């Protein structure tokens, strides 16, 4: 029987036919598509016509489209709905794809044609997008070994194959450790301080495991409330140490050797290609350009944030001493006393706010905001197939009722889903044969589940997470470029967080909150005093929060911005890096690096700084909105036309300046964070 993955899908809008796909379809389908794509590549290299932009660069850009679709479905499932079988397949499929990628990048005949076009680029009268595609294509060869001699090309292949397997293994270990831990509580006294919603969720979790009492896990919707509200300090410590020691326990899931191997191979790869370090290689294609610039950026922010962070820590410590006679604040006290102090100062806690943030209302709110800013309409539809019953699907229409995108939303945790939240693409946007093919975009989150008595009520942090991921989704949905590899979120990594982070600002605006923050039982709009307190508390402990983010960026650069081959002890190295930013006593049982999936499994290696970098952009951009009104059609249209639709078609700083009229200033971020005086 024909494998449906090897054909154009006959589903509505050519969406992925999830329920008809079997796990065993993936490997043969991917092998078949690799073979088809090789034939497409051969027809480019064997073309007797002289190399041109159209017959070489464009032809290469549109080759392997079905392979891209099948692999995106597979790897998205491996993140959102995995199982042992899919994980085993991933270990087979990843090296195949890595090998195939190298087959293309190290194909001398193909590179020769690309280089011919590159060398005569000045005489080709290409537009901006074509120029960017040519540059990106040429660099994808030169930065991946096309200019290397044969023996070094073979070494590069080996390194890439090994790296793809190691990062998969790293992620599997973190997931296995997350799933392996449970805290089973049968004594009700141990639950003191926990809100009813957390208790109900923990009771449901226990029931699903055929246990009496309550079960807490390391998944965020379970872990965060426990660390924030549980009065039992010993149990908070137990949870904290379990969370912090993921893949650092000397068992079969330990990631220490994987970390060392990944960073050494990345360094080796960079040197092979003529770069000083992995960070030098990565940052060449970022707004920041060099490790020196990143380190200076992080250090300057550290200098501004540290005095505030130290003051906040002392304030927290004296509060805990006064409150509970606590001599020494530990990491497992952080969320608990921060929340207590916040309640005392602002009389505001998540439990008070949650009734106003019913998931469905927040979704409607973010849709309404997208409509007011960008003219988008969202229609839920049941005709689109999904990979899990929890996934909702929407048709996204523009003001002329034309299809803009298909949108998938997957909100709740389950065992086959990795922690955290992310946006992803099942099909990119592009223009081919005069047809604008629209994208299929998805966001995946791990929000509090509905219980028997309550709908899904979000913490304020979850609300901002939803807005963040939806900001990425808008970047994908509004994409309007010719080439798929320059479309949507295919932009410099330190620019990609701008659309997501800028949208979070609407969560703090009265005018926006009134659209969706309504009590789930009474429909009463969130009281003004709560809104004021949300705004007031937005910069609460911002110094400590900034320090934490900077510490992650510095840890990332310490692994990738210097030669890491001398590092023998992962934990000792990490402790040394954290010295400049740590406020709490060190815990020998825990290690961040062994579960730092962003840099060892995701794409953030030498790029974690980009969250803070993009915050500078987003604070500066939002000041522009504030000046004109947060629903200003004029500013929204500028943002849409210069940022959201443009993808990676141009240098991001040029796009930003076209939107804003000037380069971004870090002062906007420091003002918003309360680290310098407001204007």
State the DSSP H helix or E strand holding residue 425, giving kind and residue range, or none if neither.
strand 422-427
To the query of whether residue 469 is one of the catalytic residues in this protein, the response is yes
Please tell me the distance from the alpha carbon of residue 582 to that of residue 269, in angstroms, as a whole number. Answer: 32
Radius of gyration from C-alpha coordinates of the chain: 25
Partner residues linked to 184 by β-bridges:
215
For residues 439 and 429, the answer to whether their CB atoms sit within 8 Å is: yes
For residues 498 and 614, the answer to whether their CB atoms sit within 8 Å is: yes
Report the phi/psi class of residue 182: left, alpha or beta, with left for phi > 0 and alpha for psi in -120 to 50. Answer: beta
Please tell me the distance from the alpha carbon of residue 663 to that of residue 115, in angstroms, as a whole number. Answer: 34
- Nearest residue to 476 via CA among 601, 600, 376: 376
> Could you give the count of Cα atoms lying within 13 Å of 130 in the half-sphere of its Cβ?
15
Please tell me the distance from the alpha carbon of residue 46 to that of residue 38, in angstroms, as a whole number. Answer: 12
Q: In the numeric block, which tokens belong to residue 546?
A: 């900034």
Burial class of residue 300 in the structure, from the number of CB atoms within 10 Å of its CB (0-12 exposed, 13-18 middle, 19+ buried) = exposed
Q: In the numeric block, which tokens belong to residue 159?
A: 């390194």
Q: What is the DSSP string of 433-478?
A: TTEEEPPEEEEE--PPPP-SSS--B--HHHHHHHHHHHHHHHHHHT
State the DSSP H helix or E strand holding residue 318, giving kind and residue range, or none if neither.
helix 291-324
Q: How many CB atoms lie within 10 A of CB 447?
A: 22
- Nearest residue to 556 via CA among 338, 234, 282, 170: 282
Q: How many CB atoms lie within 10 A of CB 662?
A: 10
Q: Which of 469, 497, 574, 623 is catalytic?
A: 469
For residues 674 and 539, the answer to whether their CB atoms sit within 8 Å is: yes
388 to 22, 77, 80, 383, 531: CA distances (angstroms): 14, 10, 9, 14, 36
- Nearest residue to 107 via CA among 14, 43, 48: 43
Please tell me the distance from the alpha carbon of residue 126 to that of residue 53, in angstroms, as a whole number. Answer: 9
Please tell me the distance from the alpha carbon of residue 75 to that of residue 601, in angstroms, as a whole number. Answer: 12
State the DSSP H helix or E strand holding residue 183, giving kind and residue range, or none if neither.
strand 183-185
> Could you give the count of Cα atoms lying within 13 Å of 61 in the half-sphere of its Cβ?
26
Looking at the annotation, which residues are catalytic? 469
């Amino acid at each position: 029987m024909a494998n449906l993955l090897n054909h154009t899908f006959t589903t509505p809008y050519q969406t992925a036919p999830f329920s008809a796909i079997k796990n065993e379809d993936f490997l043969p389908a991917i092998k078949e598509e690799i073979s088809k794509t090789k034939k497409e590549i051969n027809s480019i290299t064997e073309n007797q016509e002289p190399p041109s932009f159209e017959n070489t660069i464009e032809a290469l850009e549109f080759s392997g489209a079905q392979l891209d679709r099948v692999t995106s479905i597979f790897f998205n499932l491996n993140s959102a709905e995995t199982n042992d079988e899919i994980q085993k397949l991933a270990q087979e499929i990843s090296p195949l794809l890595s090998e195939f990628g190298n087959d293309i990048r190290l194909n001398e005949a193909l590179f020769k044609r690309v280089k011919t076009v590159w060398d005569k680029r000045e005489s080709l009268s290409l537009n901006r997008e074509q120029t960017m595609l040519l540059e990106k294509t040429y660099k994808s060869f030169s930065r991946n070994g096309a200019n290397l001699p044969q023996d070094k090309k073979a070494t590069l292949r080996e390194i890439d194959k090994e790296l793809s397997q190691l990062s998969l293994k790293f992620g599997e270990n973190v997931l296995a450790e997350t799933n392996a831990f449970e805290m089973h509580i049968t004594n009700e006294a141990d639950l003191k301080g926990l809100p009813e919603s957390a208790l109900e969720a923990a009771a449901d979790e226990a029931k699903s495991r055929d246990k009496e009492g309550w079960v807490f896990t390391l998944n965020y919707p379970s872990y965060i409330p426990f660390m924030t509200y549980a009065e039992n300090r010993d149990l908070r410590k137990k949870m904290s140490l379990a969370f912090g020691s993921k893949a650092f326990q000397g068992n079969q899931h330990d990631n220490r050797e994987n970390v060392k191997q990944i960073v050494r191979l990345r360094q080796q790869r960079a040197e092979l290609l003529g770069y000083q370090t992995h960070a030098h290689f990565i940052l060449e294609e970022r707004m920041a350009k060099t490790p020196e610039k990143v380190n200076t950026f992080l250090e300057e922010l550290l200098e501004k944030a540290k005095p505030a962070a130290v003051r906040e820590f002392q304030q927290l410590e004296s509060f805990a001493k006064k409150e509970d006679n606590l001599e020494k604040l530990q990491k497992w006290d952080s969320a608990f006393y921060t929340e207590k102090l916040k309640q005392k100062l602002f009389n505001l806690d998540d439990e008070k706010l949650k009734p106003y943030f019913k998931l469905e209302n927040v979704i409607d709110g973010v849709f309404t905001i997208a409509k007011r800013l960008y003219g988008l309409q969202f229609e839920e539809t049941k005709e689109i197939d999904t990979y899990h019953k929890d996934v909702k699907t929407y048709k996204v229409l523009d003001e002329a009722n034309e299809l803009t995108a298909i949108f998938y939303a997957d909100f709740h945790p389950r065992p086959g889903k990795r922690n955290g939240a992310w946006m992803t693409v099942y099909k990119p946007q592009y223009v081919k044969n005069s047809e604008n093919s629209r994208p299929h975009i998805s966001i995946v989150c791990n929000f509090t589940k509905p219980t028997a008595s309550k709908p899904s009520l979000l913490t304020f942090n979850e609300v901002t997470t939803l807005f963040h991921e939806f900001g990425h989704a808008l970047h994908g949905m509004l994409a309007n470029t010719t080439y798929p590899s320059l479309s949507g979120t295919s932009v410099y990594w330190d620019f990609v967080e701008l659309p997501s982070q800028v949208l979070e600002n609407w969560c703090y605006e009265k005018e926006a909150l009134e659209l969706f923050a309504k009590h789930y039982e009474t429909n009463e709009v969130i009281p003004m005093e709560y809104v004021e307190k949300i705004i007031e508390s937005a910069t609460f402990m911002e110094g400590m929060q900034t320090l934490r983010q900077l510490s992650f960026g510095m840890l990332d650069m310490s692994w990738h911005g210097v030669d890491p081959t001398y590092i023998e002890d992962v934990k000792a190295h990490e402790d040394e890096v954290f010295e400049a930013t740590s406020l709490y006593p060190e815990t020998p049982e825990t290690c961040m690096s062994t579960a730092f999936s962003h840099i060892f499994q995701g794409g953030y290696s030498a790029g974690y700084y980009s969250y803070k970098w993009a915050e500078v952009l987003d604070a500066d951009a939002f000041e522009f909105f504030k000046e004109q009104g947060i629903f200003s059609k004029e500013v929204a249209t500028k943002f849409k036309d210069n940022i959201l639709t443009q993808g990676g078609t141009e240098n991001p700083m040029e796009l930003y300046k076209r939107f804003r009229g000037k380069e971004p200033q870090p002062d906007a971020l420091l003002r918003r964070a309360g680290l310098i005086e407001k204007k």
